[in-house]
Structure 1
């Protein structure tokens, strides 16, 4: 099963790194220790072997001194036989100073043999090496050591030679005659060479056994060290793994997880800090959950309120649309008399021309002059009928509900409005002055709503001038460019003006000062809303007794 703490992590863990590092150190130290111990044991074995060889050769040289001096074979043979009993002895040789073998022996036993070449061959000794060793030993003051292999058996030997010495004193003729003389100094004299060869097989086996034993002990110590290291690493890292597991639990949202504190060291202190942290997180989470619950309840309440507000907004929009339409109908009602009079004039003309033409047609004589007159009257009838049609169409366009956004020609909308209201202005003795700049840019919006704005404002101007006056209609591009950013429309009258206290409230719904005219107080409020929906603005300046000027600013389009 995959360890959740290690899940998703690349590379080696800290336990592996600790184990490998410490194990490598244990292996290095174990082999170094094993090498040091082996080296000391091997040196000890060799020193003991050399001491034994030195003792044997010294004993042999001492025991055969009298035998060499007297050339007594029995004494020499006894000395050789005594040495042959030693373990590992390969050969024993005793020479005189002329390199003659006085006695010899080997591990298989032996005796005296006068054939020197046969003796050397029997002991596996090389003649040339024999001479070198003999010459060196003869002139040396101590033992001479040589190691090599016996030629017959291939056994490695430790060859050691020592000169056989005797002590002599120089005596003059007086001593022979029995005359007392002063003591003479003793002189050592080399009278031969003693030589033995010891097998190194036992030593080699002992060294090999020592190396094997040391190697096994080293491996055992190394394995024990690695096992102990693994155990200690796991023991030490166990609380760290628990902490890592705890952090994963907390990351997953389980802030109730606690780490068991089993030690009083730094790791125990870390575990205690972790538990304190999770306890604080649990408290914070509880507080967050409580706040979240409150927020959810608040959000639910807000959603409900928002739904109700949307519902109210829809109702307000519907009521607003109805008010706008009602305002239109109110304006149409106010325009009724003027529109009726406007239509009455062309209809009266049409009726008169028709009656005159009928009179002409009923006469028996119908001259070419009569024909020309009738044609002229028909043209008048056509012109007046077109005028009636235009008035009716503009009136229908004004009263129709529409939300179609289109490019609007400002001058065209003003002229359409004047078609409906212009004749009524003339009846009220109001003169209309128009000033439209050249290359006037268009704007964007709903045309009949903008027409409603102009209608409301012209009717207000008419009401402000009950005794007649002048209505100024101006339109220009701001910044004086064909690609103006804005369009300014001014509607100015020379009427009664608006007082300062009323000027601040004229755009409020249902505010009106027209008691005599029974106004609804919605005209300018709706006007303000329509201009604002077209991303424009409306400003007003007024002076009591001098008149009022409304300035409408609308964004221009290319």
Structure 2
């Protein structure tokens, strides 16, 4: 878990404070011990010197000397013992003493050595009371009394309570360090919250608003310190980002407008190209159909020419034979049969020519409903024979068109025959006529011929207007019926389309333009 900034700063400041205070306390306690020791040594020396002066002025009375030593020992709480030495010959001996039990026994050699060394005399030295035991200050001060033997005062005093003072000083320093750490913690917390966290929080809130899309989220600058300069830099950067965003948005809108214009223009060009492709495909298909029809017509005309001459000769010889035979009834019957078959061949050839050559008949004003009713009368017997029910919706009003009666009947009869072939088990044939508005070009009539037959798959439906394409059994269809029918409808200014699905029957839709004048 990452520590916060003020926590890390507080820990670092506290560690530095504790280290500095520890070093200060250690050095100051060592210096305090030294100063206390020096002061105690000075007091010990002063006390011993004062006592030596007082002893030098006392009369030579043992009782007064003992009282003075007792008063001198009791005047210092740490005093262990006081001895008064006098020289007897070459050695020193104790003449009076007031000592505690733990004071070591007298050492005349140490007294003599001390008195013989001027640099050591009158200087307190620390010595252990016992080996490895408590330390004490020891001092030997000479006693100078005119007219008396040379003497000395030996004064021993325990170390003062310097360790206790130092220990209390260290305890106080510890509490002071804890107080400093607490003060530093509270101060750092208050300082960071006021001068660091609040500006940073305002900056983070502004950044969150910018992340959500609000580029106007600037920071209120309340100070001129580092965080204030940071906020000012952030505001400046945000202003640049806002300007760049506005410029980018403007460029994006301009680019979108240009793309929209280019897309619209491209769509229009694509639509024009698609229309041209459709027109080209339709024109190509029509040219192909016309080529096929022309080839079929040329073939039929050649066939009719080639067959017509022999048929005429045969017909002439048949007539001559009929005149020569006279009353031979049996032969006459055979010649009549031959003549009938020749006429039948002529009708077949003529029908083939009629299918492939354009009709030059003139269009006249007709009533479309009357043409359809006349066609219904013609095909009704065939429908009844195949158990097909005819349903019509053509109305009772006149439907004026301009066209050729025979040609239009040829179209409708062809469509009805195809519907009958598509319903070998019977069904329903529906003929519906409606009038559509076509805008500026006037009205047009829509004739829909629908059956409930087997329908056609898509691949067959796409080829129904190809010359010589048929799905009927061999010998029962030429593949030119719908081709000729559509050609006739187009000659009348209309169009023919086929809608079919397998199992749902077939609907053939014809459109014919309406005539302005009404038929009689």
TM class by shorter-chain length?
Answer: 0.3 to 0.5
What is the TM-score with the length of structure 1 in the denominator? 0.45
What is the TM-score with the length of structure 2 in the denominator? 0.47
